[in-house]
Each structure stands twice: as C-alpha cells, then as structure tokens.
Amino acid sequence: MIDGKDNVVSESLIQRFVNIGTMMRRLEQFVNHLKARHEGPTGHALRYAMLTILAYLRDVSVDASIPLGDATFHATWLRYSDLEDMLNALTALLGRTPDKEPKDFDLLDFKPVPLLSRLYEHLNLHVERQSPRTTRAILAFLLTHASVQYFDHLSASVGLGLSSAESTEHALTVAKEVDDAEEDVMVEEHADTEQHTYPSFMPNYLSELLPRAHRSLVLLRAAVPDHTLLKDASDVSLTWFWSIHDIEASQGGTDNKIYSRAPSSMSSDSTDYLKEPSKSYKPDLSQFRLFDLHPGAHLSSATLVTTSTSPLHAFISSFPDALPPLTPTVAHLTDLVLQPLAFRAETLSRALLAVFFTSSMDLNFRAHLEVLRSYLLCTSPAFTARLTAALFDNGADRRGTQTSMMVPGVSSRARQRTVDEKARVDAEPWAMGLSPALLERGSWPPVGADLSFLLRTVILDSFEATCAMAITLPSTSNDDEDDRHWRDRAVLKYDVDNRLGFAIRDLPEDTGKEGWLNPLCTALDFLYMEYRPPHPLDVLIGQDTLTKYQRLFSFILRLLRVQHALSSLYRISADTVAPVFDTLVPSRKKFLHLRFTAHSFVSAFSGYVFDTAIRGNFDAFLDRVSASASQLSSPVPDVEEAFSDVFALADAHSGMMNDILSACLLRSGQRAVGKLLQQSLETILQLCIMIGELKEERIEEYRAATALDEIYETFATKMSTLYKVLQGMCDKGPGVTLPRDTAQTGNEKQPMRPVGGQEALGQLLLRLDMGLWWTKCR
C-alpha cells in the first residue's frame, strides 16, 4: 500500500508498475525461449532486436530518485504511461498481454512469412491508430531487423546483393535447387501451378512477378551464362527505411536505377548531450566535463545511450512523427522500399525476352515458330509436296507394279514377286488417297524401316529446298524482316535435323474408335511429328503446346487424305468411254452432283483452315512477337503489343494455338460440332472408296447405286446440321471477324489482327454458303 492512500487508490496507482514489471518479465522469458528454439536467421534477428529493445526499456525506466511528495509521485506515474504503452504493444504483438495466463499465450509461427506478416500488420495497426512515435519506432525497428535475412533471400532469388565470389559459391551450393527450378520451369508453363507465399506487405503485382523473375533468372543463366545481369551486384541492398531524408533520397535522381539504401545515421538530437561544454579544459582535466552537465542528465531516458542501445536510440530519433506525403501510408512506403526488387524483376524478364527475340542461333523463338508453322501445320509448300508424295496418292491406277513386269533386266524372281503383289493388291479394297507404297507389306499401320527412312528424307529434303530458295532470293533494301530471317535460317539446319522427326504413337485399342487400324478410314492417326526444342526455349514451346500442334497435324493429315481421295475420284470418274453408273443415268447425275458438292465443301474448308484459322492467327502472333521485340528497346513499351516476360509469351503462344483449334472445331467444348465435321469428311471418303470398288468391278452397279443413295442422304443430313450448328454458334458469338492484313500507314507497319477462335467460324459460313441449297435439296 501507498502511505496515505486507501486500498483502491493504492491498487490503481501501483497497477501500472505491476503491469510494467509483468510485461518486462514476459518479454525476457520470450527472448530466452526464442534462444532455446533455434528458429533460424529470422528468429535470431528478432531475438537480437528484442534484446536491444529490452535494454532500452530498462534504461528509460530508470529514475534519478524515489518520489516523496504526492505531486511528484503522480508526475512519475504519468511519465511511465508511455513505457506501459510500448510494453502493451510488444506483448500484444507476441500474444503475451498481462490479461492472459501463461497457458493461453499465442503459439507464434517463427517461419519468415507468417512472422514478418504479423510484425507488419501490427505496425500498420499502430500507424493507423496514431500511437506514440516511440511505440511505432520500436515496432518498425523490430520489422526492420527481422526482415534483413528475408530481404537478402528475396534479393538473391533474383540475383541481387551477391558479390562475384559469393555468387559463384551461392551457385555451387544451390545447384540442386536450380536444377529443380529448371525442371519446374519445363513442367509448368503457367505461374499459377506453383504455390508461392509471401508476407502480407508484399504487393499483389510483386507476388506474381517475383516467382517469374526467379525462373527467368534460372533460364537466363542457362541461356547466356555470361550475361551482364548475372555479374557483380554486391552494391545493391534491400532494407526498410523510415526517415524522411531516406524516403526523399530514394526518389531523388534515381532514374529507375537500383540503389542501395541504409537507415540514416544517428541524428544530432540524440547526441546533443555528448557535445563538449562551452567551457574549455586542459587535456588532463577533460574528464571533469561530466560535472558541467545538469544533475541526472546522464541518466535521463532522452539522453542515455549505451553501446547496446545506441542503434535503437538513433533509429527512434530519426523516426518521423508522420509519414511524408510521398508515402502517406505504410503500404505506399512498402511499395517504395520494394521498388528495386520490382525493377530488377522487370529487367530480368526483359533481358530473357531479348535473348529469345534477338538470338541468331537456336534460341531464336521466331525461327522455331516458323519451323513449327511450316512442318507441324504443313504451311511449307516444299514440305507439304514431299509429305503428300510419300503418304498419299491422287492417281487412278493403283496397279503401279504392272510397269515393272515389262522392264528389261528384271529377274524372274522379281517378276514373280511383282505378280504376287499384284494379286494381293487386287484382292484388297482400294484405300483411295493413300500411297501404294504404304500398303506393300500388307499390314497396317506400316511401321517398318522403309516408312521411317522415307519420312526422314521428306524433312531434310524440304528444308534444304526451302533454305536454298530463300538464300537465292535477291536481297533488296525493301526486304522485310521475314525474308531476311528466312535467308539466315540456313544456319539452323542442324536444329531441324536433330529436333524434328516423325514418330509412331501407341493409340488405345478396343475402344470402338480404331479407325487408325483400317486404311479405309482415317488411317494415319498413329503418325505424328515430334519436336524437341532446346533448353531453355522449352518454356516457350512446352509439351502442352506441342500436343496442340500434334492434334492439328493429325487433323491436317485427315484433311489431306480426303483431298487426295477426291482427286483420285475425279480421275477414275472422268473416263468418258466407261463412265461411272453407265446404265443408271439418275445415279450418275446424283453422283456427279454429290462429287461436285463434296469437292466444293472440302476445297472451301481446306482454304478456311490454312488461310483463316492458321494464317489468320499465326501470322498475327508473329507480328506481335516482332512488335514486342522492337518494344524492348523502348523506355515506354506498348502494353498492347509487348509481353511482360517469357511466361506471358508462353501463355500467348498457347492461347494462339487454342484459337486455331477452336477455329478448326477441335476443342473439347466443340466435340459435338467437331464430330459432325469429322463424319462429313468420313462420308466423302466412303463415297470415294465405294466408287473405287465399283471401278474395280468388286461391286455391282445396282448395289453401288443403293450405297450412293445412302451416302447422299447421310452427307446431306450431316451438312445441313453442321451448317445450322455453325450458324447458331456465330449468332451467339461476336459475329463474323474478317482478317486484316498488315496495312501501311505512312512509314509505320500496322500489325495484323488475329481472327480468333470461334469468332472465325463466321468466315467458314461465308465460304460454305450452302444453307439454302441444302434446305431445298432436302
């Protein structure tokens, strides 16, 4: 009890000092508990900061004398209000407030992310509440010191803050981590597949940017190991800063440069008491300057500085009463503190993009895109001609072996083998559209060595022919970038040789959809083209995107098969001496009508696939890649054309392939209309095979007439339904989108716009334009 006070007043007055002692003791126990746990660098930094704060709090709690008078006692009681507030803030941060029993203490997570989030949120709460400046400064001191190791880790993840020697040592120690990161980059094309957690003070845009920047650093190290961004960056450090001077200096004349920041030095206000008194002393008597100070000044909480608490004194003295208008909130200050990190991440992304855009060797993304377009999408005339010559046949005479029987010098054994093959061919149905060489062994699919060698020469011969033609083109000053790039692609021959080839896929059997096992049906679904992009370019041409290319390649093979089957149909039905359905004139008229309609449909759809779906989207994407490459050197890139990083470029690449698949009715959501299209093509193929059997006299004319009626009815039904479904899809969509080729406006080249996916179906309707005809026909 206090002398002269009753129990209630004494308890009220003493409670503050009891709370102070309780909270001090709990903080000490927390520090000892933290020391025993060995919680890593962030926990050690927090413990060091707490020890410094405890020493400071002990210093400010010292008083020169014990108060005797009532007025002096109340003044002392009021003076300790700030100390109690500081301790309340610290114990609330740690979940050890006086109103809690020890068993109810909060279980803190000392991992960097949750711990720093708790520190930041608590500081932000007191800043919003306008708590005393010392309380806010102490909480900021805790956050600043606890964030050192984490900021170093963030900086190292994007290649900042390491000297050359440290960078080499760091690269050796984390080699396995880098390899794992490279595997993650190849496996995941999208950043959202990898979960990254950051403290609550991390802005959303930076949370998305940092993982990509880290993977960009890994890819850049793999692509260009001696890149300038991978060299010495030891002069860069990332830390919290709170003084107005540092905040203003961070924006003064930086010009987006990465700069090192450190807290301001100890302010002059905190060291005024150390200045020499105005009275001069001889050197031998200089120690008596202490007696010129005011009594107790060396013990005052405002001027007491010891070796252990001087950093905290300096920090508190430089801490502003309020944040400046440049950073009015802690969130704005955080953006400013993390600005070098964001700039570094953007620099890495742009540097990696520049490597893929400007490289003249096998890392040039545009060169690989052109190879993919030419081969997997069959837009190269030389490749398409050789591929169709190897796989398809548009001739009417499938007995090509007859000529060998008449050639002099052929042995009798060879002639006998030729006769046997002729007899076997005559006994099998005519797989119209397919090359006879594929059926020589009598088995399907033809997976022998002959097919592999034949297709391999197709790739090499077509590439050599394309490069030879491009190199022999005369060079003019008006050549655009595409022409110059084609002439430079001769150096990439070894890429095509080693990275592009045909392969056989194992398709499931016993599913009821084994058309690939029958040469009279789709037949070639087992064949696909394999492309192996070099590392690290495989992040832009991932396996998922290559699967989309392969789906389109299989679809194009089906379309080419039907086209060549129709060509064979025209040849065998053009005989005026022995016309098809010679004795059934109505059937012959129906056949000629159906043949013309089928040919018109296949021609219109084929032109739509190559001119609109593929060229309309792929060429627009190539223009955007070129525009983005030119924007890299621009200080203010065009957000509509430029890509933020390689992962955005990979997403755009995959999205472009999705649009092509949608335009070709190959997406999973278009399965119903895609099935209608496939059945229409299969009906045309059935017509060709049936007429081939008729010409081979393997079926009677009247039976062929009945089959023709069924095929005609089926084709009319499928086409009418397909047209109506396409019309409904276009009515629900944005309407018809016409492709806009590159237009010249003055000296500027405007990039062409993509036709899109489902938006392009309106052009298919314009090409077909058979709705009224099929309605009247039915």
Tokens of 127: 């800043």
Cis, bond preceding 114 (omega within 30 deg of 0): no
What's residue 245's pLDDT? 85
Question: What is the pLDDT, as a whole number, of residue 521?
Answer: 75
Q: What is the DSSP string of 355-391?
A: HHHH-SSTT-HHHHHHHHHHHTT---HHHHHHHHHHH
Q: Phi and psi for 194 in degrees, rounded to 5?
A: -110, 125
**What is the pTM (predicted TM-score) of this model?**
0.78
Is residue 306 packed enough to be buried (19+ CB in 10 Å), middle (13-18) or exposed (0-12)?
exposed
How far, in Å, CA of 543 to CA of 531, rounded? 9
What are the tokens at 666? 């190959």
Cβ 311 vs Cβ 263: under 8 Å: no
CA distances for 383 relative to 377, 458, 559, angstroms: 10, 7, 16
d(CA 729, CA 689): 33
Cβ-based neighbours of 209, under 8 Å, separated by 6 or more: 342, 345, 346, 349
Tell me which residue has tokens 């944005």.
Answer: 734
pLDDT for the residue numbered 694: 87
Q: Look at residue 169 in the predicted model and tell me its pLDDT.
A: 46
pLDDT at residue 622 in the model: 92
The enclosing H or E element of 453 equals helix 449-472
Q: How far is CA 211 from the centre of its chain?
A: 10
Cα distance between the two ends of the chain: 109
Pairing of strands 500-504, 748-750: unpaired
Q: Which domains does the chain have, with CATH numbers?
A: 7-350 (no CATH), 360-394+433-534 (no CATH), 542-778 (1.20.120)
Residues 6+ apart with CB under 8 A from 254: none
**CA 300: distance to chain centroid?**
59
**Residue from 211, 231, 219 nearest 157 by CA:** 211
Residue that has been written with the tokens 């039905």 in this structure:
573
Question: Which long-range CB contacts under 8 A does 40-46 form with residues at least 24 apart?
Answer: 40/110, 40/112, 40/149, 41/149, 42/110, 42/111, 42/112, 42/115, 42/116, 42/146, 42/149, 42/150, 43/110, 43/115, 45/145, 45/146, 45/147, 45/148, 45/149, 46/110, 46/115, 46/142, 46/145, 46/146
**Ordered mean pLDDT values, 10 residues apiece, the chain (778 residues):** 70 83 91 81 88 87 54 74 89 89 86 92 93 92 92 86 50 43 41 62 90 89 85 71 85 47 41 47 71 57 49 87 88 91 89 87 85 91 89 63 37 45 56 80 68 75 72 50 48 64 72 62 79 88 93 93 91 81 88 91 93 93 88 61 85 94 91 91 91 86 91 92 88 57 48 81 82 51
Beta strands in 526-574 (DSSP E): 527-531
Nearest residue to 650 via CA among 540, 537, 536, 532 = 540
